Amino acid sequence: MTNDRPFGGALDLANSRLGGKAVAASDDFFAAKERINDPADPVFIADKYDDNGKWMDGWESRRRRDAGHDWCVIRLAARGRLLGAEFDTRHFTGNYAPAAQLEGCVSDSEIPGADAVWTPLTPAITLNGDERREVAIEADAPVTHVRLNIYPDGGVARLRLFGVPDIDWSARDAGERMDLASALNGARVIACNDEHFGRLANILAPGRGVNMGDGWETRRRREPGADWGLIELARPGRIEEILIDTAHFKGNFPDRCSLQAIGGADVPAEALIAQSLFWPMLLPEQKMTADAEHRFTSKILSHEPVRYIRLNLAPDGGVSRLRLFGRAS
């Protein structure tokens, strides 16, 4: 069972699959800035070189010969309040950045201009090579961009920026139909029993899956039962349409899927896991097919506003996306 998630299951707002993007850097001579927010784990390929030298899976600047420092600006997938960051220097050993600091700003531009006001989000943090380090962020103000400063130069494999989308719900029409399971609307993963081949959080991402790795896939089940994942919706609401997408899953899609759901207030993850087996059914078991979108409206059972969802995969397999269209209560 996997329910130990960074910063309470907060969303990685730097994730390129969600729309996060490295938009500017002082230098990326050895490794392109765009790799720093790839959601996949960094890899090392021993014999891979390009025109500038050793190929590295991350962002890496050249060796500085002055008193300055290098930086990279990331536009978040959504304006949000950051709770923490992960500095990942895996595979960077003699070429990692010795120290780093984060700053944030709010800007309507793709690349913040010279008038942008950058506010420190963390102090300068000492980094080591080939490690993953989580750092809490205590700033309350939402930001749209984050600047990673490294001192003085070097490489960082990945930067993950965990937070909560800052949505002005008062400005939204109470009757607006929306995807209540969208990560960019604030939906989040709570726990699941297995994510051996793919993360449950992937199914809340925008767009269709880009490949089989861009979805939730469990191991092959060799015992009775079904695999399951728990999700907290962006807002409690009534569900009008369900979409379960098995894009790219052909020999490994679930035979059947079902959804259970319940309302309620804040409940610890451990209690939700224990209770979820007995939640009311929202969508009875439905047959799945390979590499297809499955839409359900008339099969949805009558329900009060729901906040928590349990997606069951019988007996196991992979799902690319889950969409729960409805109206927030």
Per-residue pLDDT of 174-209, as tens digits, reads: 678 999 999 999 999 999 999 999 999 999 999 999
Contacts of 120 (CB under 8 A, 6+ apart): 101, 102, 103
Query: Which burial class, exposed, middle or buried, applies to 94 when counting CB atoms under 10 A from its CB (0-12, 13-18, 19+)?
Result: exposed
Task: Return d(Cα 262, Cα 268) in angstroms, integer.
Answer: 14
Q: How many CB atoms lie within 10 A of CB 207?
A: 11
Query: Which burial class, exposed, middle or buried, applies to 226 when counting CB atoms under 10 A from its CB (0-12, 13-18, 19+)?
Result: buried
Task: Return d(Cα 272, Cα 75) in angstroms, integer.
Answer: 34
Instruction: Give me 83's structure tokens.
Output: 């709770």
% of the chain at pLDDT higher than 90: 91
Q: What are phi and psi of 91, to 5 degrees?
A: 75, -10
Q: What is the mean pLDDT of residues 266-276?
A: 92
% of the chain at pLDDT higher than 70: 98
265 — pLDDT class (breaks 50, 70, 90)? confident
**pLDDT for the residue numbered 198:** 95
**pLDDT for the residue numbered 217:** 98
**pLDDT for the residue numbered 84:** 97
**pLDDT for the residue numbered 329:** 83
104 phi-psi bin (left φ>0, alpha ψ -120 to 50, beta other): beta
Instruction: Give me 100's structure tokens.
Output: 């780093």
Whether pLDDT at 93 is above 70: yes
Which residues are registered as beta bridge partners of 321?
Answer: 245
Whether pLDDT at 18 is above 70: yes
Residue-wise pLDDT tens digits, 126-178: 999 999 999 999 988 999 999 999 999 999 999 999 999 999 887 777 678 99
Instruction: Give me 172's structure tokens.
Output: 């939204």
Task: Return d(Cα 231, Cα 182) in angstroms, integer.
Answer: 10
Whether pLDDT at 2 is above 90: no
Q: What is the mean pLDDT of residues 223-251?
A: 97
DSSP code for 315: S
**pLDDT for the residue numbered 146:** 98
260, 273 in Cβ contact below 8 A? no
Contacts of 186 (CB under 8 A, 6+ apart): 164, 165, 167, 234, 235
Whether pLDDT at 252 is above 80: yes
Q: In angstroms, what CA-CA distances link 168 with 176, 219, 262?
A: 13, 39, 25
What SS3 state is found at 199?
coil
Task: Return d(Cα 172, Cα 12) in angstroms, integer.
Answer: 24
Length of the chain: 329
Q: What is the mean pLDDT of residues 237-241?
A: 97
3 — pLDDT class (breaks 50, 70, 90)? low
**pLDDT for the residue numbered 8:** 82
What SS3 state is found at 269?
helix
285 — pLDDT class (breaks 50, 70, 90)? very high
Q: Any alpha helices (H) in the chain, and if so which ranges? A: 269-276
- Tell me the one-letter amino acid at 298: S
- Tell me the one-letter amino acid at 165: P
**pTM score, two decimals?**
0.91
Whether pLDDT at 229 is above 80: yes
Residue-wise pLDDT tens digits, 46-90: 999 999 999 999 999 999 999 999 999 999 999 999 999 999 999
**pLDDT for the residue numbered 1:** 64
- Mean pLDDT, rounded, of the chain: 95
Whether pLDDT at 100 is above 90: yes
**pLDDT for the residue numbered 9:** 84
Task: Return d(Cα 40, Cα 201) in angstroms, integer.
Answer: 13
Task: Return d(Cα 227, Cα 293) in angstroms, integer.
Answer: 20
Which residues are registered as beta bridge partners of 12?
Answer: 162
